[in-house]
Amino acid sequence: AQSVTQPDIHITVSEGASLELRCNYSYGATPYLFWYVQSPGQGLQLLLKYFSGDTLVQGIKGFEAEFKRSQSSFNLRKPSVHWSDAAEYFCAVGRSGYSTLTFGKGTMLLVSP
């Protein structure tokens, strides 16, 4: 069975500092990997996705993620965090781009001035 682990429940970052959110997955085949962001009272917005090819994926809002098969990881990064990035971030895995997704429990990002 597929699973996703996001080890950090909360992370606090100073505005302007760099960010890395961790995601580890368990999946028997080549995974389809996603990062979503959810602001309070909102639905999920796709930040980026990895299907194949280049393991460094660029997304919206200046985010990027790197797929590392040997570590079963898909960590999300941003070089300089803005206060508007404060939200909850979810990593997800699926067997295709339109299959059901298994989500991690999320990481809440807090941005301090």
Partner 1 sequence: EAGVAQSPRYKIIEKRQSVAFWCNPISGHATLYWYQQILGQGPKLLIQFQNNGVVDDSQLPKDRFSAERLKGVDSTLKIQPAKLEDSAVYLCASSGDRHGYTFGSGTRLTVV
Give me the residues that bind partner 1 (CB under 8 A), please.
Answer: 4, 34, 36, 41-46, 49, 51, 90, 92, 96-98, 100-101, 103-106
Name which of 2 and 72 has its Cβ closer to partner 1.
2
Provide, rounded to whole angstroms, the least separation between the CB of residue 77 and partner 1.
20
Name which of 11 and 15 has its Cβ closer to partner 1.
11
Q: How far apart are CA 61 and CA 73, in angstroms?
A: 21
Burial of 23 (0-12, 13-18, 19+ CB in 10 A): buried
